[in-house]
Amino acid sequence: MPSLLRKAVAEFIGVAVFVGAIVGVNYNAPVNPLAVPVLAGTLGLMVLLTSDTSGGHLNPAVTLFFAVKRQISWSNALAYFAAQIAGGVLGAFLGGAMHGNYNLQVNTAIIGKGELLSEVIATAGLVWLIGYLASRDRGNIIPFVVAAWIFAAGSFTGSGAAANPAVTIGRMFSFAAPIGVEQGMYFILAQVLGVLVAVVALMFVTPVAKAKKKAKK
């Protein structure tokens, strides 16, 4: 089994590439209609690449969900959080550097409308889908489903569906895809609330059928 350090490095690199893509795509075409699918695809590939090392969380909201479900210890979850957030900040830098901009900044921008409800829904949907598939032994399609959901929610929400505290923090410091520090804090609260919604939905709306549970024992 990979050591915790190796897992943390995988999470760190995966988030860095994803946030690098978020920031980098904005340099090529500020109104590129394909920006959202590009980012969805990048995230899906990074989840795939890190899945059998770290579980491919790449998102503190996902790690929080698995910690609540006791599928990762809280001490390991803390290491994941740190790696993911550090990856988000590195990604904010790399995204610019791939376009010849080597600076970071502290943002104060305010984006979106109805954005807190948007983040609750975007995060709840993401975590519900992941938890649903993980509990049915269909983890192999999680990378594709995560990509599809981020593509969808990134396009229909008022916030653009960060749905990820590490991405939110990385973007606080980016030039090309900014979220203000203060607004970002509210985003993260909404994302945590979304995780709770997903936990409840998995228990009461789409629980694993009892017969199947027994069969697995």
Interface residues toward its own copies, by CB under 8 A: 1-2, 6, 9-10, 13, 17, 20-22, 24-25, 27-29, 32-39, 41-42, 44-45, 48-50, 52-53, 94-101, 113-114, 117-118, 121, 125, 128-129, 132, 136, 145, 148-149, 151-153, 155-159, 201, 204-207, 209
Shortest distance, CB of residue 145 to its own copies, whole angstroms? 7
Shortest distance, CB of residue 23 to its own copies, whole angstroms? 8
Q: Nearer Cβ to its own copies, position 98 or 189?
A: 98
Q: What share of residues in the chain are helix, strand, coil (percent, to 5)?
A: 70, 0, 30
Residue-level length of the chain: 217
Q: Nearer Cβ to its own copies, position 14 or 74?
A: 14
DSSP string, 166-204: HHHHHHHT-SSS---HHHHHHHHHHHHHHHHHHHHHHHH
Q: Nearer Cβ to its own copies, position 84 or 157?
A: 157
Q: How far is CA 185 from CA 41, 127, 145, 155, in A?
A: 26, 19, 27, 22
Q: How far is CA 178 from CA 106, 107, 123, in A?
A: 9, 6, 19
Shortest distance, CB of residue 67 to its own copies, whole angstroms? 22
Q: Nearer Cβ to its own copies, position 36 or 61?
A: 36
Distance between CA atoms of residues 11 and 90, nearest Å = 12
Q: Nearer Cβ to its own copies, position 74 or 156?
A: 156
Shortest distance, CB of residue 8 to its own copies, whole angstroms? 10
Q: Nearer Cβ to its own copies, position 41 or 184?
A: 41
Shortest distance, CB of residue 215 to its own copies, whole angstroms? 14
Q: How far is CA 49 from CA 97, 125, 140, in A?
A: 23, 22, 12
Distance between CA atoms of residues 192 and 1, nearest Å = 29
Question: Are 183 and 32 within 8 A, CB to CB?
Answer: no
Question: Are 74 and 51 within 8 A, CB to CB?
Answer: no
Shortest distance, CB of residue 70 to its own copies, whole angstroms? 23
